[in-house]
Amino acid sequence: MTVKEHQLSNFGGKPLNDELLHQIRNLSAQEINWLSGYCAGLLDYQSENISVPDVANLPEANPVAGSDSKSGSKSAQPVLVLYASQTGNAQSIAEQLFDHLHAKSIAVELKSSLEITVKELANYSAILLVASTHGEGEPPDDAIDLYEALTSKKILSKGSLLKDVSFAVLGLGDSSYEFFCQTAKDFAQSFTKLGAQELTEAMFCDVDYQQSAAQWIDQVSVAVTALVAQISATQSSASLVTSNAVIGSSSTPIAEVNTSYNKDNPFKATVATIQKITGRGSPKETYHVEIDIEDSNISYQPGDALGIVAHNQQPLVEDIISLLALDGEVSVDYHNQTLTLKHYLTEYAELTLVSKATIKALLELEASVQLQEIYDSGYSEFITNHQFIDLLHIARPTITAQQLVDILKPIKPRLYSIASSQQEYEDEVHLTLNHISVNNPYGERYGLASHHLTQTLSEGEAVSIFVEHNPKFKLPAVEAPVIMVGPGTGVAPFRAFLQERAASNSTEKNWLIFGNPHFDTDFLYQLEIQKYVSSGLLNKLDLAFSRDSEQKVYVQHKLLENAVEVWQWLEQGAYFYVCGDMHNMAKDVEQALLTIIQEQGQRDEEAAKQYLKALKINQRYQRDVY
């Protein structure tokens, strides 16, 4: 997020929220007396700004409270660290917070939003939620049920359900999406509506969240400590003096700096192979890319993604500069460094994905009826084939170089599901990607990373990469059958899965369901898949070539055709994986799956949902959709 947003979401704003002020006013003399001491301690802590306040000076919550959930008194209510996470970022922050609070022997529990109902939320003194957003502003898979419940009229009518609960929310998101951190925002809103009090102001992080997340952890842990202290104070001042536990507990460093490669410190690898793998006449431009990672000691697991750090095309950069009649050599300020405009646009600016915020900012600088309409109604349709430069064609603004810098978002890496296993290709990473190119009245537009990887780079040249681990998309830890639904480029991680299963000569069953427009041109990795079938590694293969027959057939239809077997496999403990398009495919597949569970498992809709939820909880339903 931009510097401005960042500051706002920090300790700025008003010192104490009304809720807390109100509470303070109602404190007893004894309590106020204690509080003054506490505040003094807190003050030192903050001025020194060390990560952990010396808990010895602070009362600790009743150690047994957390475990003894039956106890009715508020002090018995533990703190809940809750996460809603798709690819594990939110989870890892939640875990850091948990470790941190635990280290201070605060009664705290860590839960995935899968593992809790709205009612159970009321059993906690505080809910500390870390939530990411996926899809088009949708909750991550593990949070769908809780989210629906919390936003349902039925629940919200119970106005005071959480009246005794405090909460803090950290949103992880990406401001280039229309609905930035929507899930976190909605959760926060529901908590408030249900009468919960905001412990600290919600913070919404953009793609580079590490630093601000660390601050949030500090901020929250202090507030929680205070809260717990305050609560226990209200019930017994005795515990204050007798407290002597965990002195100087060494807690894990919060802003845990990732030493391995990341988007700010990518590895310069070499592209070994760039091969189009859709045949002549195909409607798709799908490529197989092999990247050499020798001597990087990068290690990845099937299911992980590879981040590509790409620079904007020179022609695009130059067009933008000349459209705005600016000088590429003028220097501009960006994140308190000084760069030439050209340098900034090439390496730091997101030019191919248009965020709604950027349109808004541009409109503020230059009124444009046409652009206003797009902003008001046509955005989601517009972005499917337009980029930032098109905004300039439409609005024809006169702005300064610095204004340009201020309205643009920071460029972000693109992720690609890794299509290889290191058991088979120790020193390589393989990708399967579509070259994105779209036309609009103003010209032909290319995708940043896909164009870079497939068109501008040539074999032997360098590419900046890092591994984005995804603990939530992994082969079963135990031996179990797997059903893999991966149409189009969604087949990528399953190629890795199959290589892994082959290498570790697993004896478990594998079922691949693949789809694409045409058999003749779009059967990705056909030769490899044929080998896996004849070798027996692939026990079942279903193909949906949508445009080869009168009525379109998609993967979900293949699932329904095979309903009986899908159910058998599930009952045998099969893991169900989905990868690829999130806009339609992933939704349709989930619907098909629910239908199968209902019909084959003779369950009503509700029971089927429960069954699916259980699958999620046991990591037997995993998705990698984009």
Partner 1 sequence: MSKVKPTIYDPQKHTAVEGIKVNSNYLRGTLQQSLQSEITGAIADDDQMIIKFHGSYQQDDRDLRAERRKQKLEPLYSFMIRARLPGGVASAEQYKVLAKVAQDYGHSSLRLTTRQTYQWHGIVKRDLKKTIAGINRALVDSIAACGDVNRNVMANPLFEQSKLHTEVYQWSKKISEHLLPNTNAYHEIWLDGEKVESTEEPIYGKTYLPRKFKIAIAVPPNNDVDIYANDIGLIAIPDGEKLKGFNILIGGGMGSSHNDSETYPRAASEIGFCKPEQALEVVESILKVQRDYGNREVRKLARLKYTIDGLTVEGFKEVLADYLGWSLQPAQPFSFEHNGDRYGWIKSDDGRWHLTLYIHSGRIKDTEQSQVFTGLLKIADLLAGQSDDGHNGEFRCSPNQNLIISNVTEGNKTSIEQILEQHNISIGQTETPTRLNALACVAFPTCALAMAEAERYLPTLLDKIEEQLEQYGIADVPINIRMTGCPNGCARPYLGEIGFVGKAPGKYNLYLGASHTGDRVNKLYRENFNEEQILKELDPIFASFAEQRLSEESFGDFVIRQGYVSAVHNGRDFHA
Ligand X SMILES: Cc1cc2nc3c(=O)[nH]c(=O)nc-3n(C[C@H](O)[C@H](O)[C@H](O)COP(=O)(O)O)c2cc1C
Ligand Y SMILES: Cc1cc2nc3c(=O)[nH]c(=O)nc-3n(C[C@H](O)[C@H](O)[C@H](O)COP(=O)(O)OP(=O)(O)OC[C@H]3O[C@@H](n4cnc5c(N)ncnc54)[C@H](O)[C@@H]3O)c2cc1C
Question: Any contact of residue 264 with ligand X (CB under 6 A)?
Answer: no
Query: Measured in whole angstroms, how far is the alpha carbon of residue 345 from the centre of its chain?
Result: 26
Taking residue 11's Cβ as centre, other Cβ atoms within 10 Å add up to: 12
Instruction: Answer yes or no whether residue 524 interacts with partner 1 by CB under 8 A.
Output: yes
Nearer to ligand Y, 444 or 606 (CB): 444
Q: Are 297 and 310 in contact (CB under 8 A)?
A: no
Check residue 174 for interaction with ligand X (CB under 6 A). Answer: yes
Q: Of these, 9, 86, 215, 368, which contacts ligand X (CB under 6 A)?
A: 86
Q: Which residues are within 8 A (CB) of 85 and not within 5 positions of it... i.e. 6 or more apart?
A: 91, 94, 112, 130, 131, 132, 140, 142, 143, 172, 472
CB of residue 456 vs partner 1: minimum separation in angstroms? 21
Cβ-contact 165, 121 below 8 angstroms: yes
Return the residues of window 125-154 that contact ligand X according to CB under 6 A: 132-137, 140
Contact status: 454 vs ligand Y (CB under 6 A): no
The correct pick among 525, 575, 577, 621 for binding partner 1 (CB under 8 A) is: 525
Q: Is 539 in the site for partner 1 (CB under 8 A)?
A: no
Which one of partner 1, ligand Y, ligand X, none interacts with residue 619, CB within 5 to 8 A by kind?
none
* Using rule CB under 8 A, residue 459 touches partner 1: no
Nearest-approach distance from CB 528 to partner 1, in angstroms? 6
Beta-strand pair 126-132/166-172: parallel
415 binds ligand Y (CB under 6 A): yes
Residue 221's binding partner among partner 1, ligand X, ligand Y, none (Cβ under 5 to 8 angstroms by kind) is none
Tokens of 406: 């201020």
With CA atoms as reference, report the closest residue to 209 among 258, 173, 177, 257.
Answer: 173
Decide: helix, strand or coil at residue 94. Answer: helix
Stretch that binds ligand Y, among 40-48, 179-187, 320-328, 409-417 (CB under 6 A): 409-417
Contacting range for ligand X; rule: CB under 6 A; set: 87-95, 148-156, 342-350, 459-467? 87-95
Q: 383 is in the binding site of which of ligand Y, partner 1, ligand X, none (Cβ under 5 to 8 A by kind)?
A: ligand Y
Residue 305 interface partner, choices ligand X, ligand Y, partner 1, none, CB cut-off 5-8 Å depending on type: ligand Y
CB of 455 to partner 1, least distance (A): 17
Show the tokens assigned to 324.
Answer: 């705005």
414 binds, among ligand X, partner 1, ligand Y, none (CB under 5 to 8 A by kind): ligand Y
Q: Are strands 197-198 and 166-172 parallel, antiparallel or unpaired?
A: parallel
Does residue 530 belong to the site contacting partner 1 (CB under 8 A)? Answer: yes
User: Is 455 near ligand Y (CB under 6 A)?
Assistant: no
Which of 201, 304 has the CB closer to ligand Y? 304
Subset of 460-499 contacting ligand Y (CB under 6 A): 489, 492
In order of 5, 131, 361, 389, 516, the CA distances from 348 in angstroms are 18, 27, 18, 16, 35
For position 386 contacting ligand X by CB under 6 A, the verdict is: no
Q: Which is nearer to ligand Y, 85 or 352 (CB)?
A: 352
- As a whole number of angstroms, the distance between CA 536 and CA 509 comes to 9
| CB contact at 8 A, 262 and 466 | yes
User: In this structure, what token pair is assigned to residue 325?
Assistant: 């009649």
| 179 close to 136: Cβ distance less than 8 angstroms | yes
Residue with tokens 């972000």: 412
* Long-range Cβ contact pairs of 12-17 (< 8 A, separation 24 or more): 13/201, 17/197, 17/198, 17/201
Binders of partner 1 among residues 546 to 565 (CB under 8 A) are 548
Minimum CB distance to partner 1 smaller for 68 or for 528: 528
Q: If you write DSSP's letter for every residue of 15-73 in order, what string do you get?
A: SS-HHHHHHHHT--HHHHHHHHHHHHHHHHHHHHT-SS--GGGS----TTTTT--S--S
Task: Name the residue among 306, 229, 302, 230 with its Cα closest to residue 261.
Answer: 306
Question: Which residue is it, tokens 């431009």?
Answer: 285
Q: Largest Cα–Cα distance of the chain, in whole Å?
A: 83
| Closest separation in Å from C-beta 6 to ligand Y | 24
Nearer Cβ to ligand Y (372/385): 385
Element spanning 332, H or E: strand 331-334
CA-to-CA distance for 449 and 312, rounded, in angstroms? Answer: 9
Instruction: Between 403 and 489, name the residue whose CB sits nearer to ligand Y.
Output: 489
Amino acid type, 532: Y
247 contributes a contact to partner 1 by CB under 8 A: no
What residues make contact with ligand Y under the rule CB under 6 A?
305, 352-353, 383-387, 414-417, 432-434, 436, 438, 445, 447-451, 489, 492, 624, 626
* Residues at the site binding ligand X, with contacts judged by CB under 6 A: 85-91, 132-137, 140, 172-174, 177, 179-182, 582, 626
The residues that touch partner 1, with contacts defined as CB under 8 A, are: 275-280, 288, 519-521, 523-530, 533, 541, 543, 548
